[in-house]
Amino acid sequence: MAEVGEKRPATIHQVASLAGVSHTTVSRYLQDKDSLKPKTRVKVDFAIKTLDYRPNLVARSMRTRRTNRIAIVLPSGPHSPGRLLSAASETAHQAGYQVEIVSIEGGPRARAARVDELARSGQVEGILSISSIDVRGKKSWNVPIVVSGNYDDELRGLGELADASEIREIIEHLAGLGHRTFLHVAGAQTFASARSRKQVYLETIERLGLRSFAAIDGDWSAQSGFDAMAGLPSDSGVTAVVAGNDVVAMGVIRGARSRGWDVPRDLSVFGWDDYEIARFATPSLSTVAVDREAQGREAIHRLLAEIRGEPVPEPARGTINRVIFRESTAPPPAAVSGR
């Protein structure tokens, strides 16, 4: 029994009344809002927010034999695909599902064993694994399993996350501004993304007939960028630096300034990732925005389609990366000697 003065939770019938629709329409909204007409969707959404309606998932589970829960399985490691997980969870919540994130130590076999346990538990309706799992010797699972394959066993980016095609666009743009001598401060070479960016950098420099003073293997830290600038000879001729990520690029800029070099007047700097701080730095950082959220949303949409027995949506076409030009890049100085 509710305490005196305690506000009772809103019911689905109250939501329907405020929205001017039937309770079955509200139920459809909770199951798949995109199936409703935009005007109806707006009315139901307004009513739900106004009444602060929360679906009774326990009652729904008992009635439909559904749990409205999904699990996202990932390796335990020092890195975190936070943006992908956040987008995946939000997409699932919008579809009326609760999300359990399960971090598992060990390799693909350990994850497969945990996935097998979850699939047979009756507690979840589907499972998303963001890295590979070992399915050898496993019996048929009772719920849909989607493997995104976006990360390896140590949560290092794979596939599209390791694609470095935009390095070509970056160097071509800088060459078009007049830059001829470049430096690359790479990320840790244990990452496929760092290896790929370094390789595409060297290939593009050679293809365009440009000069690379060096390609330095860093560790994704600002210190590695700073150290690269501290050790750069004054007569190197370098006028453009392509950094492994935004953090390295920030170190490059600080290291350049410690030597009296202005960015971008004396040195152009490019990063990768489009961290929020890159937009507000002085100068704002030219970089590559990576839409990790899109991968999270797409993976959940695939899983929901399999849960509902619907056709699996085609993957979005085009790259998840986008080059952004900001204040840290400009034409090279007229003379670079004696810097």
**Taking every pair of C-alpha atoms in the chain, what is the biggest distance, in angstroms?**
82
More confident residue, 335 or 216: 216
Q: Is 318 exposed, middle or buried (0-12, 13-18, 19+ CB in 10 A)?
A: exposed
> What is the reported pLDDT for 337?
41
Res. 77 pLDDT band, cuts 50 70 90 = low
pLDDT above 50 (res 338): no
The 211-217 sheet, strands edge to edge: 211-217, 181-186, 240-243, 268-270
**Angle at the Cα of 245 from the Cα atoms of 279 and 296, rounded to 5 degrees:** 80
Does residue 58 register a pLDDT over 60? no
Provide the pairing of β-strand 126-131 with 145-151.
parallel
pLDDT at 61: 46
Higher-scoring residue by pLDDT: 261, 33: 261
Give the E-state strand segments of the chain in sequence order: 69-75, 98-104, 126-131, 145-151, 181-186, 211-217, 240-243, 268-270, 287-290, 321-324
The architecture CATH gives domain 161-290: 3-Layer(aba) Sandwich (3.40)
pLDDT in tens, 174-202: 999 999 999 999 999 988 889 999 999 99
Is pLDDT of 333 > 60?
yes
pLDDT tens digit string along 273-312? 898 989 999 999 999 998 888 888 888 888 888 888 888 7
Distance CA(305)–CA(287), nearest Å, equals 35
Mean pLDDT of 125-133: 82
CB 111 within 8 A of CB 135: no
Is 154's pLDDT higher than 70?
no
**What would the mean pLDDT of 57-61 be, rounded to a whole number?**
49
Mean pLDDT for the stretch of residues 149-174: 77
Domains 65-155 and 161-290 share a fold: yes
Domains of the chain, residue spans = 12-55, 65-155, 161-290
pLDDT at 97 over 80: yes
Q: How far is CA 175 from CA 88, 203, 211, 315, in A?
A: 39, 14, 11, 34
Q: What is the rounded CA–CA span in Å between residue 330 and residue 339?
A: 17
What is the structure's pLDDT at 1?
42
Average pLDDT of span 100-127: 81
338 conformational bin, left if phi > 0, alpha if psi -120 to 50, beta if neither: left
Q: For 200-211, write each residue's pLDDT tens digit.
A: 999 999 999 999
Best CATH choice for the domain 65-155 from the list 3.40.1160.10, 3.40.50.2300, 3.40.50.1360, 3.10.20.30: 3.40.50.2300
Contact 271/243 with Cβ under 8 angstroms? yes
Q: Is-above-0.85 flag for pTM?
A: no
Amino acid 297: pLDDT? 87
Instruction: Pick from 69-83, 170-184, 316-330 the range whose average pLDDT is largest.
Output: 170-184
CA distance 42 to 263: 48
